[in-house]
Structure 1
């Protein structure tokens, strides 16, 4: 049984990604991070909605202000419990690294990258981001960032 693939359109991010809007790019990176884990897509989507839509964790700065325990509780609300502690920890590391190395900007990662491969390698340098997360992210962010798919 295959599970449906969540899209940026379903999360209301497609237009923002098409024009490389920073807020939409971060939200899609966060969603891609959650969807890239070995967990049901419906649970990952619910976790995204709890974090972003219900609790306003829609920027690296807002996410970084949370404690690990707060994030574990929010992930628990979404029934994202299998990897809740490691996911919370990695979300904090992601937001803090993005703030420290790229001024909190996904666009800055792109600007500092020599090409799409370099951009992907920079994403892979974030703890918890693997090839699947990069694939999901680039599937819909590539056009806005690089003008092609």
Structure 2
């Protein structure tokens, strides 16, 4: 697998129709919501379906979600998304995250980024959000490297593992470039595919 071949893979945000390149707050929040869902204790299919359900009910900004309330997130939203367990916990995380964004950052992820003093501080502010574990923060930030000055998480071990497998020297690439984000995302996809199909590993 070459760099050029990896560049043909879509970013995870692109797969969901999220336009991170715009840098607009409503697109950034969509990606945060998706990150919280994909970082949760459910399959990728359920996470994707649940994100689409949030779209269906037009719950794609902190204020709309807060107004809808916890019970509405659990049912119908999470249930329609395919949640059987963990729906209440995930709904609580999303509600609390929306509340924190509104209380401290005027509901704006761009404001959160502006207030961060460094890449590490940015990661700390994100992991302070309820339900945003370090791995989830990495998911969120890696596609924002070309957009946010302070977004520069270390590539996950799986990325370096897959790069070594394909004899790719990631150190030669600009980590803040859109191309690096594409390659990183593609390597993670390939690892996930191989994990589901062990005969191909």
Question: Is TM more than 0.5 here?
Answer: yes
SS at match of 2:13: coil
- Does 1:9 pair with 2:14? yes
Matched with 1:64 is 66
Q: Which runs of at least 4 in structure 1 moved beyond 6 Å after TM superposition?
A: none
Q: Which has the higher contact order (CA 8 A, sep 6+)?
A: 1
Aligned to 1:49: 52
1:87-116 deviation digits (Å, cap 9, x = unpaired)? 111111010110010000000010000122
Match of 2:130 in 1: 127
Shift of 1:38: 2.2
CA contact (8 A) 2:11 2:143 kept: no
Structure whose alpha-carbon radius of gyration is higher: 2
Aligned residue pair count = 142
Deviation at 1:36, TM superposition (A): 0.6
Look up the SS of the partner of 2:15 in the other structure.
coil
> Which segments of 5 or more consecutive residues in structure 2 lack a partner in the other structure?
1-9, 152-175, 178-201
TM-score (normalised: structure 2): 0.67
State the superposition RMSD in angstroms. Answer: 1.6
What TM-score, normalized by structure 1, do the two folds share?
0.90
